[in-house]
Amino acid sequence: MNPFYNPAILCVYCILHQGNENTFGYRLNLAWKRIRNNRIAIAVSALAYMAVGAFIYYNTLVLNDYASAEEMEDIVAKYEKSFKKYENLAQPRFRSLDFSIDLRPEDRSFKAKITSWAINRSGTPIRELHFTMPLVPDSVKITIPNAKLILDSDELYYRIYALDKPLAANDSVMINVEVSKATQGFENSVSFTEVTQNGSFFNNTDLMPTLGYNSNFEMSDKKMREKHKLPKREIIAKLDNKNVKARMNSYLSNDSDWVQVNTVISTSGDQTAIAPGSLVRSWKKRGRNYFNYKLDHQSVNFYSFTSAKFEVARTKWKGIDLEVYFDKKHAYNVANMLNSMKKSLEYYTTHFGPYPHKQARIIEFPRYSSFAQAFPGTIPFSEGIGFILDLSDPTAHDIDQVFYVVAHEMAHQYWAHQVVGANMQGSELLSEGFAQYSALMVMEKEYGKDKMKKFLEYEMDRYLGGRSQETDEEQPLMKTQGQQYIHYNKASVVMYYLKEMIGQEKVDEALKNLLLRYGYKNAPYPTSIDAVNEFRNVTPPELQYVITDMFENITVFSNKVEKTSYKKVGSVYEVTFTTVSEKFRADGLGNETAIPINNYIDIAVFAEPENGNTLGKVLAYKRIKVTKKGNTYTLFTSEKPYSSGIDPYNYLIDRRPDDNIRLQD
C-alpha cells in the first residue's frame, strides 16, 4: 500500500466542498476550520498512523532483513564474479556428521552443533578450506583446529580458512559448526517456513555450510545474466564418460560422497522429532523430548529433520518397520500408503536388490510446499498432495495418486540413494526416470494394464506440452538436464515401451546389473551412457533401434486409424482397418524431419469397455512390423468388435495419441 494514501484522503476531506463557492482561499479557510474542530481526532489518528508505520518498519527492517529482488540479484551476481575462480579448487569431502539440534517449535527457533569430518580425496595437499554459508541461520560459527579465518564475506555468504599445515591426501580434518535461528517479529513476506509451531521440516543443507564454491547459487536466467554482464552459463556438463572431472561429483553433492550420520534432536514435550536412520533411544528432560537417530548404512549427504504432533501408524514387512507419521485429522490415506510401501518393497527387493535400511517412514509436513521427497529411509510428504484429500477409495479415481507417489519415492531408495548419477547431462534419468519406471511396475501389478493406459496418456500429454513450451533446447532422454517433462513424463512412456518390447525381466535385469556395479560406489559416478549400455546388453539385435530412437534421439510418431469395418464370416468376425504411420526425428528446437519407418507396432481389436475402462477386453492382438506409411490390416475375432487400433496402449511417443483407436463403423 502507498504510505501516503491515508494522509491524502484526510487532505481531500478537509478541502472538499459542495456548493457554488469554489475559490482556493475559501477552501483553505474551510480546511482550517475543519482541522480546528477535529484537532484531537486528527492528532490521535496521525500518531496512530505513525506508530503503526514505525512498528511495521521496526519488525520488517530492524528485527528482520529485507532485500528486494534487485538486491538479491546483485548478491547472486557478485557471488559468482567474486568466487567463481575457486570452483575447481581442491577441497576435502564430508565423510561423517554428528548433529545436536535443539528445536523450539513454539517460537520457531533452533540451535544446532555439528561435528563433522572431511577427507582429502583430491590426491594433492589442501591449504585452504572454502565454505558457502547456508541461508537459513542467523549466525554460523565454524571452528577448525589449527586454522584461521582469512576471508569472511557476510554479504556474499562465503568464508575462507587457511590451514596452518596443508591437509595431506587421504587425511581428514574436523570441522565444527554452530548455527542458530531465532524468529523475531514479522517479516515483509514470510521467508522461513522450515520451522513452524506444528510441522517443522528442514534439510541438512539448511544447517550446514557446503565446502567450496557452490554453482547452484548462480543465476540461470539468460536475460538476467546478460543484465549483470555474466558469461554464458553451461547448465550442466555435457554427457561424456571421458569427462572424469565431472564424474568425480554426483549430481546431488559437490562436497561429499557417502556419509555416516548421527543425530540427537530435541523438541517440545508434545512433539515427535525424526532424523535419518534408526531410533537408538528417546528420553524426556525438563519437559522436552529427546531422540537419538543413527543411519544404519552410509548414504548420500542429503536428508531431513522433522518435528510435529504426530499420530503414528505402524506395521512390518519382513522385519522392516513401516511407519506413517501424520496429523490425527488426516488419516484418510494412511492405509493406502502402508499398502504401497509393502507392494513397493515386494517388487524392488525381488527385482533389484535388498532394501538398505531397517525402516521406511512417511512423514507429513504442512502444505507450504506441495511435494514428496525421498531421503535415506524417510519420505517427507506434503499434506497438500497426500493427506488432506480423501483418496481412500482408489477405485473412484483414474489414477491412485497416493499409491503412485509412495511407490515413486520408495524407488528412490534404490535410484538416487544407492545409484546416483554423475553431475552431468542424463543424471536424472538414473534417478527420476528409473523411479518412474519402478513405480509403474508396482502400479501395474496392483491395478492392471488398463489403468496404466490412463497414466501413460497423462504422461504423454505432459511431455508433449512440455516440449512445446521449452525455452532452451529439448534434449534426448539420456541427455536430460533439469527438464522435468523429459526425465519424468517422457521417461515413463519410454521405459514402459522398452518393457513391452524386450520384456519386464530384461529391463529389471539391466537395472539390477547397474545397481550391482554402481550401488554405494565412490567416484567416478555412473552416467546415462552406462545405464543405456546395460539396456543394450539385454536387448536383441532386431530391437536395438528402440534404444537409438527413444534414449539417444528425439523421435516422435504419428499413428492414426483412418477407417475401420467388420463383417461376420461364419462364426467369426473379420475386422479390417486402414492406418497411417509416420516416424520423425526432431532436433532440440522442435524441427522435425520424416525418416523411414521400420518398427514393430501393435495392432488390436477390442470389445466394448466395461466398468469405466478406456478399452474393452482384447479380442485380437498382434505385433507387426510397419515399413510404410499406409497399411490395411485384417484380424479375426470370435466376439463382436467395438473398436480397433494401432499402438492402442500408446507405447510410442505420438503427436496425437487420441487418434490411435477408432470405433467400428
Residue 181: which CATH number?
A: 2.60.40.1730
Q: Which of 273, 378, 393 minimizes the C-alpha distance to 322?
A: 378
pLDDT tens digits, 635-645: 999 999 999 99
Place of cell 587421504: 170
> Among 7-11, 43-47, 450-454, whose mean pLDDT is lowest?
7-11
Do 485 and 540 have their domain in common?
yes
CB neighbours of 407 closer than 8 A, spacing ≥ 6? Answer: 340, 343, 344, 438, 439, 442, 443
**Residue 5: pLDDT above 50?**
no
Place of cell 477552501: 27
Do 21 and 165 have their domain in common?
no
Quote the cell numbers at residue 240.
561424456
Do 102 and 176 have their domain in common?
yes
CB 97, CB 259: distance < 8 Å: yes
Query: What's the CATH number where 623 sits?
Result: 2.60.40.1840
Query: In the predicted model, what is the mean pLDDT of residues 556-578?
Result: 96
What is the distance between the alpha carbons of residues 398 and 527, in angstroms, rounded to a whole number?
Answer: 35
Q: Please, what is the average pLDDT of the chain?
A: 92
**Residue 333: pLDDT above 70?**
yes
The answer to whether residue 97 sits within a structural domain is yes
Would you list the DSSP string of 553-571? SEEEEEEEEEEEEEEEETT
Work out the angle between the directed axes of helices 504-518 and 528-538 (0-180°, nearest 10): 140
Q: For 550, how many CA atoms within 13 A lie in the half-sphere containing its CB? A: 27
Determine the length of the chain.
Answer: 665
**φ, ψ for residue 241, nearest 5 deg:** -65, -20
Do 116 and 153 have their domain in common?
yes
pLDDT tens digits, 134-155: 998 899 999 999 999 999 999 9
Residue ending a domain, among 282, 301, 320, is: 301
The H-or-E segment that residue 501 falls in is: helix 491-502
Question: What is the model's pLDDT at position 46?
Answer: 78
Sign of CA dihedral 297, 303, 308, 309: negative
> In whole angstroms, how far apart are CA 466 and each of 253, 292, 457?
27, 44, 14
Do 136 and 49 have their domain in common?
no
What is the distance between the alpha carbons of residues 469 and 571, in angstroms, rounded to a whole number?
Answer: 52
Residue ending a domain, among 552, 571, 589, is: 552
Question: What is the model's pLDDT at position 60?
Answer: 73
Do 46 and 114 have their domain in common?
no
Confidence of residue 59 (pLDDT cuts 50, 70, 90): confident
Do 124 and 41 have their domain in common?
no
What is the distance between the alpha carbons of residues 604 and 453, in angstroms, rounded to a whole number?
Answer: 14
Sign of CA dihedral 21, 26, 32, 33: negative
The answer to whether residue 151 sits within a structural domain is yes
Query: What's the CATH number where 471 sits?
Result: 1.10.390.10
Do 467 and 481 have their domain in common?
yes
Please give the share of the chain, as a percent, with pLDDT higher than 70. 93
The answer to whether residue 227 sits within a structural domain is no
**Residue 392: pLDDT above 80?**
no
Question: What is the model's pLDDT at position 576?
Answer: 97
Do 40 and 141 have their domain in common?
no
Q: How far is CA 627 from the centre of its chain?
A: 40
**Strand bridging mode 126-132 / 210-211:** antiparallel
CB neighbours of 111 closer than 8 A, spacing ≥ 6? Answer: 101, 102, 178, 179, 180, 181
Query: In the predicted model, what is the mean pLDDT of residues 30-40?
Result: 70
Residue ending a domain, among 301, 331, 359, is: 301
**φ, ψ for residue 109, nearest 5 deg:** -135, 165
The answer to whether residue 461 sits within a structural domain is yes
The H-or-E segment that residue 398 falls in is: none
Query: In the predicted model, what is the mean pLDDT of residues 92-118?
Result: 97
Do 154 and 265 have their domain in common?
yes
Q: Which of 221, 209, 218 minimizes the C-alpha distance to 256?
A: 209
**Residue 365: pLDDT above 60?**
yes
**Strand bridging mode 158-167 / 147-153:** antiparallel
**Residue 279: pLDDT above 60?**
yes
Confidence of residue 542 (pLDDT cuts 50, 70, 90): very high
CB 504, CB 400: distance < 8 Å: no
Question: What is the model's pLDDT at position 12?
Answer: 52
**φ, ψ for residue 68, nearest 5 deg:** -70, 170
Q: Which of 590, 582, 599 minimizes the C-alpha distance to 654?
A: 582
The answer to whether residue 229 sits within a structural domain is no
pTM equals 0.90
CB 420, CB 256: distance < 8 Å: no
Q: Which amino acid is at 490?
A: K
- Looking at the structure of the chain, the number of domains it has is 4
Structural domain containing residue 512? 427-552
The H-or-E segment that residue 621 falls in is: strand 618-626
What is the distance between the alpha carbons of residues 466 and 474, in angstroms, rounded to a whole number?
Answer: 9
Question: What is the model's pLDDT at position 97?
Answer: 99
Confidence of residue 40 (pLDDT cuts 50, 70, 90): confident
CB 175, CB 142: distance < 8 Å: yes
CB neighbours of 489 closer than 8 A, spacing ≥ 6? Answer: 459, 460, 462, 463, 466
The answer to whether residue 72 sits within a structural domain is no
Q: Which residues pair with 557 in a beta bridge?
A: 583, 654
CB 592, CB 553: distance < 8 Å: no
The answer to whether residue 285 sits within a structural domain is yes
Query: In the predicted model, what is the mean pLDDT of residues 545-571?
Result: 97
Query: In the predicted model, what is the mean pLDDT of residues 412-420?
Result: 98
Do 491 and 617 have their domain in common?
no
Q: Which of 220, 286, 259 minimizes the C-alpha distance to 94?
A: 259
Question: What is the model's pLDDT at position 200?
Answer: 96
Q: Is the preceding omega at residue 524 within 30 degrees of 0, hence cis? A: yes
Work out the angle between the directed axes of helices 449-468 and 434-447 (0-180°, nearest 10): 150
pLDDT tens digits, 427-476: 999 999 999 999 999 999 999 888 888 899 999 999 999 999 998 899 99
**Residue 3: pLDDT above 50?**
no
Question: What is the model's pLDDT at position 540?
Answer: 98
CB neighbours of 69 closer than 8 A, spacing ≥ 6? Answer: none
Do 189 and 258 have their domain in common?
yes
The answer to whether residue 186 sits within a structural domain is yes
**Residue 6: pLDDT above 60?**
no
What is the distance between the alpha carbons of residues 563 and 633, in angstroms, rounded to a whole number?
Answer: 11
